[in-house]
Amino acid sequence: MEILRREFIYIWYYFSIQFEQIFVYWIIGMMIGSAVSVFAKDHLHHALIYLQKKRIGILGIFAASFLGIASPLCMYGTIPIAASFSKGGMRDDWLASFMMASILLNPQLIIYSAALGNKVLIVRIISCLLCGITAGLLIHFLYKDQSFFNFSSFEKPINKDTDSNMFVRYLKNVGRNIQATGPYFFLGILLSALFQRYVPAEMMTMLFGGNEALGVLMAATIGVPLYACGGGTIPLLQQWLWEGMSIGSAASFMLTGPSTKITNLGALKIVLGVRHFCLYLGYVIIFSFLTGIFINFIL
């Protein structure tokens, strides 16, 4: 019993340290994410429609990637918006850029990622933007005269932000945000504490440190099963970076994780079909691997 009590004290110590460092980012991220969702969501989507009317051609791919990151919606909320854009005549390359960037990042996750330090935050934002832009460019040049998406079978989800009072609507959105992200946030801190207590730092350095391509590939690979919620992975990433994980490996994990999150894959499978879905997975893995290698080379 004494041993168990001592181990509990150690784990609680690591847990409390992580909690104190990250909790404020979680709270601020939820407050800002809900604010964008309630007060700015429609404006962001109208901005993309406005750009379509300007007929700026391939430059719209870049703008669509920025707007995808600014959008607070999950993939099941993004696809109905993309479907309505498609029906309005928006090009598939713009839609690909918007949807790819929306999968990878949102205002709430940007705030969460600030806990990882300015360098990692900048790397995450830039790599996600480029992933969206590259996806749009590939569709532009490889599927110029073909349709890449099929939105006909996607059912629009129920909009829960319907209260007539905007302040009440905001509070309800914050509540749903806490309910959706809270369990993963605390689980991530617990896993981080367990890693810190029982996994030697040298092992993390050996697996994910340095410029080795194998470390980047392993980080990209573990992003597939371990990523369940953006906020929940921040404590893990913070701990791994402390213990020697390279920034390139972290970037690779942050790209493959949300891209292969099971809920995102389920939504994408509906609108892509088998062949295009496989192409999507191949693109995500290759892009994340090459990005990790490049980041480790320049940093």
Cα 107 from Cα 8, distance rounded (Å): 35
Helix (H/G/I), strand (E/B), else coil: 22: helix
DSSP letter at 37?
I
pLDDT at 288: 94
Cα 138 from Cα 141, distance rounded (Å): 5
Cβ neighbours around 33 below 10 Å, total: 23
Cα 133 from Cα 275, distance rounded (Å): 21
pLDDT at 104: 92
Cα 270 from Cα 258, distance rounded (Å): 17
pLDDT tens column, 277-287: 999 999 999 99
CB 244 within 8 A of CB 219: no
Structure token pair of residue 221: 């690979």
Is the dihedral angle over the CA atoms 236, 239, 244, 246 positive or is it negative? Answer: positive
pLDDT at 63: 93
Cα 174 from Cα 36, distance rounded (Å): 11
pLDDT at 210: 62
What does the pLDDT profile of the chain (299 residues) look like in tens digits? 777 888 888 888 888 887 888 888 888 888 887 888 778 777 877 888 788 777 788 899 999 999 999 888 776 667 778 887 887 788 899 999 999 999 999 898 899 899 999 999 999 999 999 999 999 999 999 988 788 888 776 655 566 667 778 888 888 888 887 887 788 788 878 887 887 777 776 676 676 766 677 778 777 777 665 665 666 788 888 888 888 889 999 999 899 988 888 777 877 888 888 899 999 999 999 999 999 999 998 88
